[in-house]
Structure 1
Amino acid sequence: MATASPDRIPLAVALRLTSVLLFAGMNTLIKLSEAAGASLGEILFFRQAGAAALMVVVISSGPGMRSVATRRMPAHILRAVIGLSAMALTFTTILALPLAESTTIGFTMPIFATILGAIVLREPTGWHRWGAVLMGFAGVLIVAQPGTGHFPLIGAITGLSAAFLTASVSILLRKLSRSESTTTTVFWFSTLSLIPLGIVYAIVAQMHAPLVWLLLAGVGLLGGAAQLAMTGALRFGPVSVVVPMDYSSLLWATMFGWLVFGVLPDAWTWVGAPVIIASGLYIVWREHVRRRVETAQAVVEG
């Protein structure tokens, strides 16, 4: 992917912030849908169906369906399996925890990405980033307060598992991006996910009141639009610039949790969240520094 020009960075930041807001809205609708009687299987199906529909519209009205042809279908299938598992765990966490707490646990993704990058991709990882990893996990312990019983254990387990699988997806996407466009990757993830989710939906589908159908449709539309905005941000700006925008999701999660559900984060979340966020930001910054050094060395050697 070419480096985005400076005049497009504001657009990249705006798109990423938009995606964060849309995802926060989607998470709110997920909790409302479940409270109104929708099952996790139904919510997952509508989430991916909405994303797939939007992708088909965008591709058909733009580059055309031929643009998503691929020779790496096994890799896309693996990405769909891992990504769908991560999504199921993420939604389970959203349903088990208040919005702010589930969002905070999700911030551990860069921590797991650092660990997997060092193990799987053999990326050089110095003591700076390992220190940030330890600091991030310390933040998780502050938020979860294990042994006190104030934080549901299932939420902590599913949240950390979702972050680990999401980090695994990021490692896989680094390999896929060498030959596949972002549009191709998103399209195949959305459409391939509908195969197992269609089977699940056929089993768990039930009749609902009109409001529930509207909520489920909203989950799909907001999720699909958020996914497009998120990937568009990476098209117009570097990762080191756009990814830190994700931490603004805690603000939206706190606001929606208060306005819609009347719940505010507890004191330990306010203490631990900044620790986790600082850890993630430092990891992103160190990655930016490492790539800048590698680029400079390549120019000198060239």
Structure 2
Amino acid sequence: MAELPRGSTAALAPGLDRRVLLGILLMCAAGTLFPVMNGLVQVLSRTYPSEQIIWARNTGHLLIVLAVIVPRYGFAVLRTVRPAAQLSRSILLLMSTAMFFFGVKHLPLAQAGSISQMAPFFVALLAWPMLGERIRPSRLAAVLIGFLGVLVVIRPGTDVFHWASLLIMGSAFCYAVYQIFTRRVAGLDRPETSVMYSALVGTLVMCAVVPFAWKTPESATDVLLHACLGALGASGHYCVARALTYAQANVIAPFQYWQIIGSVIVGWFVSGLLPDLATWIGAGIIIAAGVYIAVTASRGAPRLR
């Protein structure tokens, strides 16, 4: 969709309005699918080792991608101009998934979901040294406010602080660096190549690890839940990718924070717990700062050369 000139009051054509609405709905759908997946992780973590759950998440995702992409493009889709960057992306995504899955079994889902929203703040900070994109003082202030919101959620130094919060923070950092590497390969490799590599290395690594931690599923229901992890993850990422084809990133990015609300709802179904007041306040601060960063992204700053 073409970008309107800054400050323009011209109305979008009705067809474009519908595309923007579809993009928003798809981003909200992703924000629902990911918490459902994370809720299943919490349920399965009561019985099965995290290594097995991570393996199921990556392998299921890869099998779905193979079924969709290979018949159309063949295995030539694995050819990449930037193999080191693609491998780095896949390793970072595996690290992000592993830290989140190990951490979320110890934390309320809403708290984990709120902390995971640190990723956009890390991206804003890392874009300057890694991509040469300047960060304006106002956006830097928003980043700092976002980190303040995270501190309100995790409350270090108090009785409610849990070390697993640091794993979720590490997960958000790895995911932010993954996004930076994704932007580096964008335009050099086809999107299908990046999608393939996202799950490939994680699957290969976890296939080597899972035999040492394997526990045979106890029922057909547990087999289905394992299989759903990859399907939910792949569907969520597909919704995000499609949303970005219908509307500008700065328009739909604020709706990614629906994931926090989704985490509250799913967390209540899984554990019967609702966030305490401090978590609500911290999540509100995170959302406000994140929305500011998202809506100002298209007014962007000059690049260093």
Alpha-carbon distance in structure 2 between the residues aligned to 1:173 and 1:253: 26
Normalising by structure 2, what TM-score? 0.89
1:111 and 2:121 are equivalent in the alignment = yes
Aligned-pair identity (%): 28
The partner residue of 1:265 within 275, 290, 302 is 275
1:176 and 2:185 are equivalent in the alignment = yes
- Residues 189-268 of structure 1: matches in 2 within 5 Å? 189-210=198-219, 211-268=221-278
Moved more, 101-110 or 252-261: 252-261
The partner residue of 1:149 within 151, 156, 159 is 159
Aligned-pair CA distance for 1:119: 2.2
Number of residue pairs matched by the alignment: 290
The partner residue of 1:46 within 41, 49, 56 is 56
Alpha-carbon distance in structure 1 between the residues aligned to 2:45 and 2:53: 8
Normalising by structure 1, what TM-score? 0.90
Aligned-pair CA distance for 1:3: 5.3
Alpha-carbon distance in structure 2 between the residues aligned to 1:285 and 1:185: 26
- Which residue of the partner structure matches residue 299 of structure 1? none
The partner residue of 1:12 within 23, 37, 43 is 23
- Which residue of the partner structure matches residue 86 of structure 2? 76
Alpha-carbon distance in structure 2 between the residues aligned to 1:60 and 1:184: 10
Does the aligned pair in 1 maintain the 2:81–2:188 contact within 8 Å?
A: no
* Structure (1/2) with the larger helix percentage: 1
1:29 and 2:46 are equivalent in the alignment = no
* Residue type of the alignment partner of 1:172: F
Aligned-pair CA distance for 1:123: 1.2
Q: Say what the alpha-carbon RMSD is for the aligned residues.
A: 2.0
Post-superposition Cα deviations, 1:183-226, rounded to whole Å, max 9, x if no partner, equal: 21111121222111100112211222113222211112211221
Aligned-pair CA distance for 1:24: 1.2
Post-superposition Cα deviations, 1:66-123, rounded to whole Å, max 9, x if no partner, equal: 4453232222111111111111111122212111000000111111111101222221
Gaps of 5+ in 1: 295-302
Alpha-carbon distance in structure 1 between the residues aligned to 2:222 and 2:264: 24
- Residues 129-140 of structure 1: matches in 2 within 5 Å? 129-140=139-150
